[in-house]
Amino acid sequence: MKLCFPVAEDRGINSKIYGHFNSAPFFLIVDADSLETETVANIDPDNPATSCNPFAALKGHQIDGLITAGMGDSALQAMHLCGFRAYEAQSENLLENMEMFKRKELPESLVQDSAAQGRCSDGDDTADSGSGSCGDAHEH
């Protein structure tokens, strides 16, 4: 079983889960049985000058689950369309979350309809200068 975690730096199974899926510098794919890891840069391999492109970065990888600390609705919907299921990390500890996943204790990430619920801008100037993005301080 292969699990994918967004990480800021590759420290193997001692890596810490990065707080925001889309802007993670790397994805660490871990074989839950052997603990072997593969690091994937969050870029489009066909256009390495780009960054923050998880869909292109993970395309073609066999992944049984994404374990993230944060993923927006659009990214989650796109990952579902790509056949990936996402789960909510319960801490930044990669191994702890992997064990919880194996015991089926991690909640699956669900679309929250954030814009409709007022947690993100709907295009007016009241939140994040009308950019249509979350007002949270993410690194992009």
Task: Identify which of 21, 14, 43 has the alpha carbon closest to the alpha carbon of residue 4.
Answer: 21
Residue 66 lies in a domain: yes
The number of folded domains in the chain is 1
In angstroms, the CA 38 to CA 103 distance is 23
Residue 24 lies in a domain: yes
Q: Say what the alpha-carbon torsion angle 71, 77, 83, 87 is, to the nearest 10 degrees.
A: 30
In angstroms, the CA 2 to CA 14 distance is 16
Structure tokens at 39: 């690091």
Structure tokens at 64: 């049984």
Structure tokens at 25: 């510098």
- Predicted model pTM: 0.76
Residue 68 lies in a domain: yes
Q: What is the pLDDT along the chain (140 residues), one digit of tens a residue?
A: 999 999 999 999 999 999 989 999 999 999 999 999 999 999 877 777 777 888 888 988 999 999 999 888 988 998 888 888 999 999 999 999 999 999 999 999 988 765 554 544 443 333 333 333 333 344 43
Residue 67 lies in a domain: yes
According to the model, what pLDDT value does residue 44 have?
A: 76
Domain around 94: 2-110
- 40: domain CATH number? 3.30.420.130
3-state class (DSSP) for residue 27: strand
Residue 136 lies in a domain: no
According to the model, what pLDDT value does residue 134 have?
A: 37
Residue 99 lies in a domain: yes
In angstroms, the CA 71 to CA 68 distance is 7
